[in-house]
Structure formats: C-alpha cells, structure tokens
Chains A and B, each alone.
Chain A
Amino acid sequence: MQKISAVAGVVILEMIRRKDVYVLFFLTALITLVLGSVDLFGDAKIARYLKEVCLTLMWMSSVIIAVFTAARQIPVERESRTLFPLLAKPITRSEVMLGKFLGCWLACCISLAAFYLLFALISGIREQHWPLANYFQAFWLHCLFSGIVVALTLLGSVWFTAVSSNATIVLSCVVGMLLLGRHLHKVAVKAGGIAGHFLDGLYFSLPHLEWFDVRDLIIHNWPRMDWTIVGQDTLYACAYAGCFLALACWRFRRQPIH
C-alpha cells in the first residue's frame, strides 16, 4: 500500500503543478459569475439556470480532467523513459497501475471538491438555501463517476498506442453513455431483432454512468436521495472500476515496455 500511495502522491503533485485544473476552475467561475450578473426582470432570486450552467461546466471540466490526467500517465512515463527506473525498484506493475489510478482519482476528487465548494457558495448566496447533504451526495456520485472514467482511461492507455486516440475514444464512450445510457433499452425494444439484442446486451453490460449524474435533482431542489441508493451506486461503481483496473493490470503485466 505504501508503494501505491507513493506513486499516487507523485500523480497528485503533478496535477498540482499543471495548470489545466486552475484554468478550468477559473473559466467555470468566470462564466457562472458573468451569467449571474445578468438582470432578469429585476428578480435576484432566479437561480436554477445559474445552477444548471455551473453544474454543466463542472461536469465538462471533470470529464476533461479525469480523461486527460489518466490518459497521459503510462504513455508519458514510457516516452520520457522514467518508467524503466520506476519498474527497476521493488514495485510490481500492478502496484504502479493501482498507484496511478489512486493518484488520478484523488486528484479528480480534490478538484471536484473545489468545484462543488464554488457551486455551493454561488447557489447558497443566490437561493439562501444550503442543502449540504444533497450537495455531498452529488459530489460523492461525481467522484464515483470519475473513478470509473479514470479506470477506463487507464485501461485504454495500455491498450491504445497514442494518448490522443485513447482520450478521444474514452470521451466518446463516456459522453455517449451519459446521453444515451438511460434510453438504450427503449431503442432496443423498438429496433427488435439482432440489433435489439445487441443494444440490450450493451444496456446491461456497459456501466450506467448517467446514474452518477444527479444534476436535475440538485438544480430543481428535489429532496435528497435515499442513502441506500447511494450505497448501491458506490458498490456498482467499485465493481466496474475494479473490473477495468484488473483488466488494465493484466494487460500492463503482459505488455512489453520497450
């Protein structure tokens, strides 16, 4: 565990040094504040549109951070040849992979914490309403989502040769699943035949990333979800992230690094 956390620590330090997260955070804050300053019929209590814009930007930023942080880990180490001295130390390839995952995931969680703090402040000031438990649920589900995406990207990074192709494929899959995941079964029923069976297979086998997106519940001030549901989501996310990580470790162990 010590070796894994050491690798993870390096990844977190790297994220702190890089400027991507700061730029995305600054842009999110700037756009939200500019939109918040718009006068809408002199009613300062109108807040939901602002929450929607802020959350959408946060989701976009989080996907970009998760995918691009995870996608470059192994290939960059390999290109800069820092992977060889790392593996020359008493550390297994699986531990390197797990360390990379932990580092990327924690980095995502740290950046998400900053984003959600900003969101809570903006919506709280605007609405004079602080449903912190709801925000924590949304934050935690968002972290779980990032975990699955990071694991999937790490798997892609040992599968595809280029960072760009990996990032593009993972981004397409994630966005596609977020938009269509909920509706695959309906489309399958309408399609019927082999196509219907294929789509149903996808529906049941692919991770339902849209479950972790509870923006509508937050935007429209719905009551918080049952904690049991959140617990089930946590198990679901752990299972999928674990599955992707196991595959990534297996592939990385068998892969020639030269």
Chain B
Amino acid sequence: MSSSAKAPPPTSSPVPLLGIAGLLLTVSLLTALRLHPVHYEIQARRPDADDLLARLLGDGRRLFANHFYVKADAYFHSGFYPTIFDDRQSHQTAHIAEDAGLAEGKNTGDEEQFLGTVANWVDGHGRNHFPSVHTHLDNDAPEAAGGAEREILPWLTLSSKLDPNLVENYSVGAFWLRKLGKYAEAEHFVRKGLEANPGNPELLFELGRCRLDLKDTLRARNIWEMAWEAWKKRDGSKDAAEQNRFTVNQILMHLALAEFRLHKQEDCLRWLEVAVPLSVSPEAIRKRISEVKAGQPFEAIDPPNAAGEASDHDHDHSAHDHGHDHPHPPAAKP
C-alpha cells in the first residue's frame, strides 16, 4: 500500500515535452549562430576581454599596480622594507629601479635604520620575528647566489598586467632579466610594454640596451635615436624643471657610446655636445669630450646620482650601495 501511495502520478506521453525541448534547443543553436559574430566583434573592441584581472577589477586594477611594484622592491630586500608607519625617506625611489640606473634616486636617510633604535623589550623581541637586516637580492641576501633576483619578477609581471601604462615595470623587469642572462625574455617584455605605451622614450632606451647586450650595436644606436626623437616630442616643449633630464642624459650618453663602438668618433662627439646643455653637470660632459678628442677610450658614465647623469653600470652591479657613494663601474670596452 505504502509503495503505491509513493508512486508518481500518471503523466501524459513524454513525446510532446521532448519535442518542445528539441525545438528550444534548435532555437538556442540558431540564436547562438546569429549572435556569435556580433559578440565576437564586440570582444575584438575590448583587447583585455580575455584578461581575468581586467574582467574582475576593471580599471580599478590600476590602483593595485603600484602596490605590487613596491612589493617587488620589498622582495629585492628579502622582506626588510619600511611600512607606512616607518621612516620611508630611504625608500622613496624603488631600489630595483635606482640600482638598475632607470630612475633618478631621491632617497635620503639611512636605509638600514628605518626601524629606528629598539624602543622597548616588546620591540626588541619582535624584531627577531621578521627580517631586520638590510640586504639586496643580488648581493648579500640569504641565498643570494644563483640568480635570486628572479624572485622580483612575478610581482613586476603582475603589476604590468594591472597597469600596462606603468612603464617602470617593463624597464625594471627587463633590466633584471638581462642581468639573469634572459635577453630574449627581456626584449619580449619591453616590446610588450611598447605595445601598451607606443613610442615611450624610457622603454625605447631599455630596448636599445637589450640590443646592445646582444652585441647588436647598430640596431641599439638606431633605437636610441628613436628614443631621442620620442623624448624631444614628449618633453622638448616642456619647461626644464618638468623635463625628464635623467632619461635624456641616459639616451644621449648611450648614443655616444654606441657611436664610439661603431668607430664613429665624430658622431660620438656630436651626441656629447647635444648632451651638454641638457646635463646638470655639463663640466663632466665637456671633460668626456676632451678625453674622446684626445683619443682616449670612451668610458662608461658614472652611475646615476643627484646630478642626473647617465649610467652604464649593468656590468658590475653587485658592489652598489644606492643612495650613497656609488663605486665607479668598470669602463665599457669599445
């Protein structure tokens, strides 16, 4: 009795229901065929349609980009990094960029002492639980040997995805990739940056450095000429205070270096002459000019400092102690 009570009520034949389902399926397939080209066209208008981060966060993702750029710098210091509660004067410019010679250093103060002196026993004991010694990944960090700099790359990649217009990500990332010997990856990364920021002089300059590392001096020279033109177009009409003199000095000095390596002394001198009025310390450039005229080899320029000179210190990066007295890099051999 109980089993018959639980039995489902008799229904009509399932054929009409299956027919309706089949009809609806046909309609949906036809609609999909009809709508697919339209949808495809709409998607093509949105280049970031397949980007999960862009879909999730929209343009708001740019707000997080700088956070991850700074995180890459924190990784460069193996976690020893000031918080918003600490003295951040020594970390105003990311050391990953400053050490790479890609940003003018604005850091002041002692980068080792941003925690200050031990205030009390709680503070003293607490410092045993987080990194409290200043190190750099490429130099004196724990397990620094063997290319530990690679650890900053995920955050730079993420930051570049969040804000494709934050050019520092590409130039800094490319520098450290080149340092790890990944020249092709470095160039590919910079080219991705250039896709998002066409004609950006900083990225063109970095692209030239990628070519120079691959001993393609001629193409590096051509790219830097493009960078110089791009800089003039962007900053040429601005006031001196607003111009990015740091970048243009780098571009011009590297142009001079490339010309020298191509045995074009006249052109080398011409670029140096162009650099004189744009340099904060023209005397140093004039000294270079006289050295080149005297037939001396064109040496690498001092690392970037407050005077805003260019650098070519990629080859001996380990000895750097940014923000303070920079040791002179070895001469670039023509």
Least Cβ–Cβ distance between B186 and chain A, in angstroms: 9
Contact stretch, chosen from A44-52, A87-95, A100-108, A112-120: A44-52
* Per-residue A-contact encoding for B102-135, CB less than 8 Å = 1, 0 else: 0000000000000000011011011011110000
Q: Which residues of B contact A45 (CB under 8 A)?
A: 147, 150
Least Cβ–Cβ distance between B126 and chain A, in angstroms: 6
Tell me the complex Cα distance, A219–B148, Å: 12
In the complex, the answer to whether A220 meets B141 with C-beta atoms within 8 Å is yes
In the complex, the answer to whether A229 meets B151 with C-beta atoms within 8 Å is no
Which of B85, B86, B123, B185 contacts A41, CB < 8 Å? B185
Is residue B199 within 8 Å, beta carbon to beta carbon, of the partner chain? no
In the complex, the answer to whether A41 meets B131 with C-beta atoms within 8 Å is no
Contact stretch, chosen from A70-78, A179-187, A244-252: A179-187
Least Cβ–Cβ distance between B129 and chain A, in angstroms: 5
Contact stretch, chosen from A24-32, A146-154, A202-210: A202-210
* Per-residue A-contact encoding for B73-104, CB less than 8 Å = 1, 0 else: 00100110001011000000000000000000
In the complex, the answer to whether B129 meets A48 with C-beta atoms within 8 Å is no
In the complex, the answer to whether B85 meets A183 with C-beta atoms within 8 Å is yes
Contact stretch, chosen from B153-161, B212-220, B238-246, B312-320: B153-161
Which of B78, B128, B131 contacts A229, CB < 8 Å? B128
Is residue B50 within 8 Å, beta carbon to beta carbon, of the partner chain? no
| Contacts of A191-230 to chain B: CB distance below 8 A | 203-204, 208, 210-214, 216-217, 219-223, 225-226, 229
Is residue A85 within 8 Å, beta carbon to beta carbon, of the partner chain? no
By beta carbon, the residue of chain B nearest A43 is B150
In the complex, the answer to whether B153 meets A214 with C-beta atoms within 8 Å is no
Is residue B327 within 8 Å, beta carbon to beta carbon, of the partner chain? no
A48-B126 in contact given A41-B182, A42-B185, A223-B142 (Cβ < 8 Å)? no
Is residue B283 within 8 Å, beta carbon to beta carbon, of the partner chain? no
Is residue B172 within 8 Å, beta carbon to beta carbon, of the partner chain? no
Is residue A2 within 8 Å, beta carbon to beta carbon, of the partner chain? no
In the complex, the answer to whether B123 meets A185 with C-beta atoms within 8 Å is yes
In the complex, the answer to whether B78 meets A222 with C-beta atoms within 8 Å is yes
In the complex, the answer to whether A211 meets B126 with C-beta atoms within 8 Å is yes
Q: Which residues of B contact A232 (CB under 8 A)?
A: 125
Is residue B143 within 8 Å, beta carbon to beta carbon, of the partner chain? yes
Q: Which residues of A contact B129 (CB under 8 A)?
A: 210-214, 217, 225, 229
In the complex, the answer to whether A185 meets B122 with C-beta atoms within 8 Å is yes
A216-B131 in contact given A208-B126, A211-B126 (Cβ < 8 Å)? yes
Is residue A257 within 8 Å, beta carbon to beta carbon, of the partner chain? no
* Per-residue A-contact encoding for B33-70, CB less than 8 Å = 1, 0 else: 00000000000000000000000000000000000000
Least Cβ–Cβ distance between A249 and chain B, in angstroms: 28
Is residue B177 within 8 Å, beta carbon to beta carbon, of the partner chain? yes
Least Cβ–Cβ distance between A213 and chain B, in angstroms: 7
Q: Which residues of B contact A41 (CB under 8 A)?
A: 150, 153, 177, 182, 185, 189
By beta carbon, the residue of chain A nearest B87 is A186
In the complex, the answer to whether B122 meets A203 with C-beta atoms within 8 Å is yes
Is residue A1 within 8 Å, beta carbon to beta carbon, of the partner chain? no
In the complex, the answer to whether B79 meets A216 with C-beta atoms within 8 Å is yes
By beta carbon, the residue of chain A nearest B119 is A185
Least Cβ–Cβ distance between A183 and chain B, in angstroms: 4
In the complex, the answer to whether B151 meets A46 with C-beta atoms within 8 Å is yes
| Contacts of B142-180 to chain A: CB distance below 8 A | 142-143, 147, 150-151, 153-155, 157, 177, 180
Of listed A185, A213, A229, residue having the most chain B CB within 10 A:
A185
Tell me the complex Cα distance, A47–B146, Å: 13
Least Cβ–Cβ distance between A141 and chain B, in angstroms: 8
Q: Which residues of A contact B180 (CB under 8 A)?
A: 43
Tell me the complex Cα distance, A216–B157, Å: 21
Tell me the complex Cα distance, A43–B141, Å: 20
* Per-residue B-contact encoding for A117-134, CB less than 8 Å = 1, 0 else: 000000000000100000
Q: Which residues of A contact B120 (CB under 8 A)?
A: 185
Which of A43, A204, A220 contacts B153, CB < 8 Å? A43
Tell me the complex Cα distance, A68–B125, Å: 30
Which of B119, B130, B151, B155 contacts A216, CB < 8 Å? B130
Which of B78, B131, B154 contacts A46, CB < 8 Å? B154
| Contacts of A37-67 to chain B: CB distance below 8 A | 38, 40-43, 45-49
A40-B154 in contact given A185-B120, A220-B141, A222-B131 (Cβ < 8 Å)? yes
CB-defined A-B contacts under 8 Å, sample of 28: A41-B150, A41-B177, A42-B185, A43-B150, A43-B153, A43-B180, A45-B147, A46-B153, A46-B154, A47-B151, A49-B154, A182-B85, A185-B119, A187-B85, A210-B126, A214-B130, A216-B131, A217-B79, A217-B130, A217-B131, A220-B78, A221-B78, A222-B79, A222-B131, A225-B129, A229-B125, A229-B129, A232-B125
Question: Besides the contacts A213-B129, A225-B129, what 13 more A-B pairs have beta carbons closer than 8 Å?
Answer: A41-B153, A41-B182, A43-B180, A45-B147, A46-B154, A49-B151, A49-B154, A49-B155, A186-B86, A208-B122, A208-B126, A220-B78, A222-B79
Interface residues of A, Cβ cutoff 8 Å to B: 38, 40-43, 45-49, 129, 182-183, 185-187, 203-204, 208, 210-214, 216-217, 219-223, 225-226, 229, 232
Counting from the closest, the 3 A-B pairs by CB-CB distance are: A216-B79, A183-B85, A220-B78
